[in-house]
């Protein structure tokens, strides 16, 4: 069978009818990793000692020497065979979560699996492979929105795989004091364990439902998540659970003569300021958390990894 070319992958990425199942992401990702193994684009390690686990790939002249986004090799599978085996284990564990919920994390074998961080690694590799192909387009704006849409879809498919209903929603919120006036509000995802509640035609939020904001990065977006919770709670007259799910908060940066440095895009003081001035979010989750989210006590109280959301927090948030 002919191996997919970068052009083939670009076409797949642009196809609006693709990526309807988790298996579609795995197939695309495996094809991209196979391309890395055969075409062998230049692999560049970030020169910063603190970030030397981040690498970039540079495509050839046929693709205008485009450079991919930084990839965290502690998370990213660079082998198609490793990804395939990990994806199978991932799907198996999601099935176990669907059957047993939080109890699926019990037992030595499952604890060993969770300690491997493989759930985060699979999600990270699937999404970053999408991002790397997007980076090869002549005009990156062509693919930027699509990459974000596909991360939202990926998170939604993972949540659905464990038996939790999850859909985007547009709600119309009455504005107090202005009779007949409503504000339309678009929500990335609304999820609930009670399938009788959530439906695409529902225009309001049930108390058992949780609002989720899903973005590849918090850069220029973190304020809106806090504002969403504040406005929804204020206008609907009750506490609305709101969480945020991010892929990562890193970008390529110039360091001296090198263009392969790493910059964090997470705004710690903004995050803490919104927490004090507006409200705490009900959960903030990263597939690739920044080191200070683990070491900083103030951040550690509020930010966890995506795996923690799937295994533990989701079941507490999404009441039946």
Same domain assignment for residues 125 and 193: no
Same domain assignment for residues 144 and 192: no
Domain-embedded: residue 281: yes
Domain-embedded: residue 108: yes
Region 119-134: what's the mean pLDDT?
Answer: 98
- Given this model, what pLDDT does residue 197 score? 55
Instruction: Report residue 272 as tokens.
Output: 């803490």
Same domain assignment for residues 269 and 291: yes
Domain-embedded: residue 1: no
- Per DSSP, the chain holds a count of helices (H) and strands (E) of 12, 11
Measured CA to CA, the distance from residue 182 to residue 312 in angstroms comes to: 36
Instruction: Report residue 155 as tokens.
Output: 């998170």
Measured CA to CA, the distance from residue 46 to residue 30 in angstroms comes to: 24
Same domain assignment for residues 129 and 197: no
Domain-embedded: residue 187: yes
Coil, helix or strand at residue 269: helix
Region 125-142: what's the mean pLDDT?
Answer: 92
**Alpha helices of the chain — where are they, by DSSP H?**
6-14, 22-39, 80-100, 108-115, 118-134, 141-161, 222-236, 268-277, 292-295, 297-300, 306-308, 314-317
Measured CA to CA, the distance from residue 229 to residue 118 in angstroms comes to: 31
Residue 204: pLDDT band by 50, 70, 90 thresholds? confident
Residue 119: pLDDT band by 50, 70, 90 thresholds? very high
Domain-embedded: residue 44: yes
- Given this model, what pLDDT does residue 125 score? 98
What are 252's strand-pairing partners?
Answer: 262
Pick from 97-101, 238-242, 284-288, 314-318 the range whose average pLDDT is largest.
Answer: 284-288
- Given this model, what pLDDT does residue 138 score? 86
Same domain assignment for residues 146 and 182: no
Measured CA to CA, the distance from residue 268 to residue 295 in angstroms comes to: 13
Domain-embedded: residue 252: yes
Question: Containing domain of residue 182, as a range?
Answer: 164-317
- Tell me which of 99, 132, 160 is where a domain ends: 160
Same domain assignment for residues 126 and 191: no
**What's the total number of domains in the chain?**
2
Residue 40: pLDDT band by 50, 70, 90 thresholds? very high
Same domain assignment for residues 63 and 146: yes
Same domain assignment for residues 176 and 283: yes
- Tell me which of 160, 189, 219 is where a domain ends: 160
Residue 3: pLDDT band by 50, 70, 90 thresholds? confident
Domain-embedded: residue 299: yes
Same domain assignment for residues 310 and 222: yes
Coil, helix or strand at residue 236: helix
Same domain assignment for residues 100 and 181: no
What are 185's strand-pairing partners?
Answer: 171
Instruction: Report residue 208 as tokens.
Output: 């058992």
- Given this model, what pLDDT does residue 276 score? 93
- Tell me which of 142, 160, 178 is where a domain ends: 160
Same domain assignment for residues 189 and 268: yes
Domain-embedded: residue 266: yes
Same domain assignment for residues 175 and 313: yes
Measured CA to CA, the distance from residue 258 to residue 269 in angstroms comes to: 28
pLDDT at residue 202 greater than cutoff 70:
no
């Amino acid at each position: 069978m002919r191996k997919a070319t970068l052009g083939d992958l670009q076409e797949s990425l642009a196809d609006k009818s693709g990526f309807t199942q988790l298996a579609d992401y795995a197939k695309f990702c495996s094809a991209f990793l196979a391309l890395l193994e055969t075409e062998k684009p230049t692999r560049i390690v970030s020169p910063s000692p603190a970030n030397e686990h981040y690498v970039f790939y540079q495509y050839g002249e046929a693709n205008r020497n485009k450079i991919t986004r930084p990839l965290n090799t502690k998370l990213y599978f660079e082998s198609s065979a490793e990804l395939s085996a990990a994806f199978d284990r991932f799907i198996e564990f999601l099935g176990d979560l669907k059957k047993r919920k939080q109890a699926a994390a019990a037992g030595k074998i499952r604890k060993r699996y969770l300690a491997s961080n493989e759930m985060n690694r699979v999600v990270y590799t699937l999404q970053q492979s999408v991002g790397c192909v997007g980076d090869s387009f002549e005009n990156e704006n062509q693919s930027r929105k699509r990459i974000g849409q596909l991360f939202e879809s990926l998170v939604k498919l993972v949540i659905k795989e464990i038996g939790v209903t999850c859909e985007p929603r547009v709600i119309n919120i009455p504005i107090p004091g202005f009779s007949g006036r409503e504000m339309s509000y678009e929500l990335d995802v609304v999820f609930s364990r009670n399938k009788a509640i959530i439906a695409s035609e529902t225009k309001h939020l049930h108390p058992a439902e949780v609002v989720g904001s899903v973005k590849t990065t918090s850069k220029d977006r973190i304020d809106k998540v806090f504002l969403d919770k504040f406005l929804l709670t204020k206008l609907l007259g009750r506490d609305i659970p709101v969480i945020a799910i991010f892929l990562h908060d890193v970008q390529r940066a110039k360091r001296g003569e090198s263009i392969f440095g790493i910059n964090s895009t997470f705004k710690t003081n903004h995050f803490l300021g919104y927490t004090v001035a507006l409200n705490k979010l009900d959960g903030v989750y990263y597939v690739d958390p920044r080191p200070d989210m683990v070491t900083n006590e103030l951040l550690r109280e509020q930010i966890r990894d995506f795996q923690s959301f799937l295994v533990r927090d989701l079941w507490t948030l999404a009441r039946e």
